[in-house]
Amino acid sequence: MIAAPARRRWRPPAALAWIAVTPFLLWSLWRLSGVDRRPALVELMTLTPYVAAGSLGAVLIALATRNKAAIAVSAATSALMATIVVPRVLASPASTGPALKILTSNMYFGNGDAQTIVDLVRRLKPDILSTQELTPAAVEALDAAGIGELLPYTHLQAAFGAFGSGIWSRYPLTPQPDFALPGSRNMPRARVAVPGAPPVEIVDVHTISPMGRDVYAWDADMRSLPAPASDVIRILAGDFNASLDHSPLRSVLAEGYADAGDASGTGLSATWPSNWRIPPVITIDHVLFDERASAVTTRTYTVPGTDHRALFAELRL
């Protein structure tokens, strides 16, 4: 009796491996090259953490095809993307020194619930509240909710629409000269007299949203942010409309700043969109600090009425 021939196991075609690998390879090259300073690409770049996770699927497909070249390229691409994303969940040691706690909240045209924000201030006890899209009505609502009893010092530049911003502080403030570009959003900054610490400056950041042709105004806003200075510990807090995968924000960090979320191992905690049917998917609200400070932790909180989660950061100076 003649035995039936053994059935060969089906193997995916080698071309399938390259079809799977090529998009991830191109994405990693785009991420490194800084081409995101262009319309459409800038929005896509915020998805890099999800693309990095998806690149593992390309490795599996390449392994299934047994295409050695595709396996090597997919593994290298996935490893490269891991080096970009994984450090955001690895905490760096925090130094000792005076604490500075910061809460930043984009109020979405002033609609963010003032009582929730004041309740967060009462519970978290931040030394600084940095607000964006602060309208005159929002200032009145925060005052009525009791913000002045908790953070009595202010430097406010409220305005209608998305252009207003404002700082509340536990400690005395000294307003500093404006740096925001003409036609951009208000970005007040002030010196803060933190007990036991060197001079500290807080900058309330809110850049133009990089939608369509506004990407060029957004890039200009990012370039306008003040660099670290030798005479003051400078902290930038607010809505950057940028993730750590955007080259303009990476350029700001390269000047001598660190991101509090990245440094404390919470760099993948998303802040936008909030109060939608989907959970937040991208991280565009940040607290940056120069090398004379360190981060202990960051946490995010939902505030009704706004599309951004509030971001809390505890620093050591």
Taking only the tens place, the pLDDT of each residue in 272-290 is: 999 999 999 999 999 999 9
Q: Look at the alpha carbons of 126, 130, 131, 137 in this order and tell me if their dihedral is positive or negative.
A: positive
Say if 301 falls within a structural domain. Answer: yes
What is the C-alpha separation between 218 and 36, in angstroms, rounded? 12
SS3 147: helix
pLDDT tens, position by position, 39-53:
888 999 999 999 999
Q: Are residues 59 and 121 in the same domain?
A: no
Q: Are residues 70 and 127 in the same domain?
A: no
pLDDT of residue 81: 96
Q: Are residues 168 and 230 in the same domain?
A: yes
In the chain, what percentage of residues exceed pLDDT 70?
97
User: Domain containing 117: what range?
Assistant: 99-316
Count up the domains in the chain and report the number: 2
Q: What is the dihedral of CA 201, 204, 210, 211, to 10 degrees?
A: 180
Residue 27 region by backbone torsions, left for phi larger than 0, else alpha for psi between -120 and 50, else beta? alpha
pLDDT of residue 2: 56
Average pLDDT over residues 32-44: 87
User: Which has the closest alpha carbon to 31: 209, 252, 249?
Assistant: 249
This prediction has a pTM of 0.93
**Residue 269: CATH number of its domain:** 3.60.10.10
What is the C-alpha separation between 71 and 66, in angstroms, rounded? 7
pLDDT tens, position by position, 137-165:
999 999 999 999 999 999 999 999 999 99
Q: Are residues 126 and 80 in the same domain?
A: no
